[in-house]
Every structure is written in structure tokens, then in C-alpha cells.
Chains A and B, each alone.
Chain A
Amino acid sequence: AQSVAQPEDQVNVAEGNPLTVKCTYSVSGNPYLFWYVQYPNRGLQFLLKYITGDNLVKGSYGFEAEFNKSQTSFHLKKPSALVSDSALYFCAVREGGQAGTALIFGKGTTLSVSS
């Protein structure tokens, strides 16, 4: 069965500093990996995805994520955090080639960026 782990409930970082939100996954086949962001009282918004190809994926709002197959990780990163990046972040996985399966989400990590 596929699963996602986000080991940190909360990440605190000062504005201007780099940020990392961690994610590890487990699937039996090739992973399709995603990051979503949720602002208060809103649905989830897509940030970026990894399907295949370059291990460093760039997405919206200056975020990027690095796929590491040997460590089964897909950490979200940003070189310089903004206060407006404060939100709830979800990592999700789907097994590649299995079109009938749904995304499985992690429990979420709250990112707090202080000014």
C-alpha cells in the first residue's frame, strides 16, 4: 500500500532564510509525487509534481522539490522564505501507471515564516 510521511508537524523559519519541508513516501512501483498548499478556509492548491525526469522540480511561487529515489524522499524547498508562504503544506503520492488509484496525502506540515 502506498503511504506518505511528513515527519514535522510544524516548521518555523525567519523571512529571507531558506526553508525545507520534509516528505518521505512508500509505493510499490514508480511514484508520482505532489506538493499542495492550503491557506486558511480554502481548498488545496497545486504547487509542483514529479512524474519522471530531472530530480529537481520547480513549481509555483519559487518553490522547488528534490526527488531522491534511494531515500524515498521528496522534500519541498525554497531559497528565501516569505511571510506569505505561511500555510499548511501537504505531500501526496500516487503509484505511477495506476490511473484508477487516488492520491494519498501526508498529514500536513504547518509552515510559519516570521518577519
Chain B
Amino acid sequence: DAGITQSPRYKITETGRQVTLMCHQTWSHSYMFWYRQDLGHGLRLIYYSAAADITDKGEVPDGYVVSRSKTENFPLTLESATRSQTSVYFCASWDGGSPLHFGNGTRLTVT
């Protein structure tokens, strides 16, 4: 089915480890986004991408790395996870016209 999928749905990792959250969309939307959702902060933009090989920082990019070698994939990597990165992460895609489409999120816990 067409849509946007995130994996894994749940992840527990230890401080200092590298972890990658995956995002895949089947619409061929140009734009893709990563947000994190935290109580009291709503959704905050981490990184976004306007097309393959084009990425840009959002509001809270520190500690995160993204890549976009293919239009359909937009992985988010935490190079050395910290407890402050415990959050729910949402990926979204957009074709520039219709509203953003969101995945169901990845709940990440850093111990």
C-alpha cells in the first residue's frame, strides 16, 4: 500500500550508541521531514529535505545526521545517543501542494 512507514516503532538504546531511524515513502514526494515530539514542546523540526541529496537543518538539529540518497528514503541517525534524545520521532512527506503526510512514529528510549 502507498504511504509512509517508519521503523522501528519502538527502540531502546544505551547512551553513546549510534542508532538509525528509518523512513520510507511510496508517493515520490519531493519533501521529507523529521520532527521530534516531546511533552510541553509539541513537534519540533530536526531536519528536512527538499529533494534527493538536498537537506537542511531545522530547529533542533544538534546530535542528528540525515541523508537522502534516494527520494523515497530519509533515515535519521543519532551518532552518539544521549538521554535528552529520548522522544517520539515522526517522519513526514510532502509534495508541495497537499498537506503533510505523517508516519506513525518511532518511540526512542535512551538509557
Q: Chain A: residues with CB nearer than 8 A to chain B?
A: 6, 34, 36, 41-46, 49, 90, 99-100, 102-108
Residues of A within 8 A of B100 (CB): 34, 44, 46, 103
Residues of B within 8 A of A46 (CB): 99-101
The 10 closest A-B pairs by CB, nearest first: A43-B102, A107-B42, A46-B99, A105-B43, A44-B102, A108-B42, A43-B104, A102-B48, A105-B42, A102-B45
Residues of A within 8 A of B96 (CB): 99
- Residues of B in contact, count (CB < 8 Å): 23
Q: Indicate whether B58 reaches chain A with its CB closer than 8 angstroms.
A: yes
B99 engages A49 (CB within 8 Å)? yes
Stretch at the interface among B11-19, B33-41, B70-78: B33-41
CA distance A105 to B41 in the complex (A): 9
B35 engages A42 (CB within 8 Å)? no
A102 engages B33 (CB within 8 Å)? yes
B45 engages A104 (CB within 8 Å)? yes
Q: Quick one: closest A residue to B38, CB to CB? A: A107
B97 CB → nearest A CB, Å: 10
Residues of A within 8 A of B43 (CB): 44, 90, 105, 108
10 further contact pairs, Cβ within 8 A, besides A107-B40, A107-B42: A34-B99, A34-B100, A43-B92, A45-B102, A90-B42, A102-B31, A103-B100, A105-B35, A107-B41, A108-B43
Q: Quick one: closest A residue to B34, CB to CB? A: A102
Q: Quick one: closest B residue to A43, CB to CB? A: B102
CA distance A107 to B31 in the complex (A): 23
- Find the residue from A42, A100, A103 having the highest chain B CB count within 10 A: A103
Q: Indicate whether B103 reaches chain A with its CB closer than 8 angstroms.
A: yes
**Cβ-defined partner of B104 (8 Å) among A41, A49, A102, A107:** A41
B38 CB → nearest A CB, Å: 9
A106 engages B48 (CB within 8 Å)? no
A103 CB → nearest B CB, Å: 6
Q: Indicate whether B52 reaches chain A with its CB closer than 8 angstroms.
A: no
Residues of A within 8 A of B103 (CB): 43
CA distance A46 to B105 in the complex (A): 15
